[in-house]
Amino acid sequence: MTYKNLLYEIKEKTGIITINRPQVLNVLNAETVEELASLIEEIKNDPSVLTVIITGAGDRAFAAGADIKEIRALTPSSAQAYLRRGHDMLNSIEMLGKPVIAAINGFCLGGGCELALACHIRIASQNASFGLPEIKLGIIPGYGGTLRLPRIVGRGKAIEMIITGDIISSAEAQRISLVNRIVKQEALMSEAQMLAGTISKRGPVALKYAIETIIKGSEMSFQDAISFEINNVSLLCATEDKIEGTTSFLEKREPIFKGK
């Protein structure tokens, strides 16, 4: 498919999604959300893609938020469907079953920050900045920011960021574990692609179960999470990839995983 607001290419088993609205700082309007939802579904059903990178076009923004004109026009009734669609799209990223890396350059604010939070790994350039400034508009984050941010940085820091609406630097974002690593601006995509390439060498089935076990397990009681982990490891023991992985280790060679 072709997309109006997105660019998409596959490089060495990595699907690279670029939000291509640099003239408006890659703002996530409703049309872009719909396109992301469609593209993520396409990637989900493409066995040739093992990892995903999401980034923003230009050097000024990953995504600077949602479309304020659209937000202003929302009524209590229309907001329900509008926000649900955003949640569904971000949930589809988080539960894609394939590792998703956010390569963040410039502004990562509001809905853009919530998009990054739904990704599994966040790499930021030195000029990146982060925030959930919705409180300054008389609202609160509506694409999962109040849910994912506390799970990643802790409740106290999340409350501070959300109720002040302050924007933080990439260095502060790394300090509070909002981003995994910081790189020079010119090295952002090469670093993301190198990491994606490393991950792509791992067993696809194990990657899917690892993400699912971490995300769903964090929402369970500790004892239920133990049972969930045991069950998923047991299921992996029935896969061809498990046999290949253990055999290759004993034979001192690189594994050739087939995703089975």
Q: Which residues are catalytic?
A: 114, 134
Residue bearing tokens 């990054």: 116
Q: How far is CA 238 from CA 217, 245, 247, 260, in A?
A: 21, 12, 14, 9
CA 10 and chain centroid, separation: 17
**Nearest-5° Cα angle at 42, 105 to 64:** 25
Q: Can you say whether residue 232 is alpha, beta or left, with left for phi > 0 and alpha for psi between -120 and 50 degrees?
A: alpha
Task: Give the strands of the sheet with 107-109, arranged side by side.
Answer: 61-63, 107-109, 129-131, 168-169
